[in-house]
Amino acid sequence: MKSATTTSRPKSKSFSASTLVNALYWVVVALVLFFMYLNIQPYAIGVKLITGSGINHSFIINLILDIPIIGAILGLFIYGFNWIVGFLLWAAIQTIQLFPIVLRRDRRFMQSIISECDSHSKYQIKENDDPALKALKRWYNKFPALTISRSRTAALFAYVVDFLICMMVYPPVKGGLSDLMFILTTGQFSRIDWGNVIMLLLTIFIVELCVKFLFWLAQIKYYFRISQR
């Protein structure tokens, strides 16, 4: 009887902890969806700032709008043009930003990269080699890790684009980048709109932080499943 009671207690604790992790996981998923909406909004506003009022109603478009089904679909597209284009831009940039994180979380992929790097033969770069040959050798020597390194480079570029787009919607100061640099170099921090700075940082980094947290919770859930077998 004592052995039965001692074995049942860890199971109840494990079950309660697993339930808490599952609940927290779905709460974070809901937060990710909410932050996705907040992140798409600057892109929709940016598209509106660039294109003006969106799609102008011409004579041909007005004729198409009179068609029952096609007109309704076109009307929805025109109405949500800024949001559709903004979502596509945001999805492309966000995917590039998250790509290195997703690759590092794939164990089989990382194992293949590590095994390929360990077994990959490398060419010695000689001083008398032709410059083109040196470039080819450097390229070949680091070829197995190019997937990870290039994904990081693309992610950095995506962060720069993300920053510039969000700067249009949440400018830290009135004016452009030159005004921002002048205020930072002269120490006039009181002229900075800190609310926009917070929104700028949240728009750029919050989804990535939530995705990392989701991966961490998913890993905990994985080990909970293993421990309950």
pLDDT in tens, the chain (229 residues): 444 444 444 444 445 677 787 888 888 888 888 888 888 888 888 777 776 555 555 545 555 555 666 655 655 565 677 788 888 889 999 999 998 888 888 888 888 888 887 777 788 888 888 888 888 888 887 777 788 888 889 999 999 998 888 888 888 888 777 777 888 888 888 888 888 888 888 888 888 888 888 888 888 888 877 877 6
By CB atoms closer than 10 A (0-12, 13-18, 19+), residue 129 is middle
Answer for the pair 97, 162: CB distance below 8 angstroms, yes or no.
Answer: yes
pTM of the model: 0.69
Gap between the Cα atoms of 118 and 12, Å rounded: 45
Query: Which residue bears the tokens 């679909």?
Result: 73
Alpha carbon of 129 to those of 12, 123, 125, 137, 174: distances in Å?
68, 11, 7, 10, 54
Q: Give the DSSP letter string of 163-178.
A: HHHHHHHS-SSSS-HH
- Count of beta carbons in the 10 Å neighbourhood of residue 178: 8
What is the spatial distance between Cα 10 and Cα 6, in angstroms, rounded to a whole number?
7
Count other Cβ atoms within 10 Å, centred on residue 164: 11
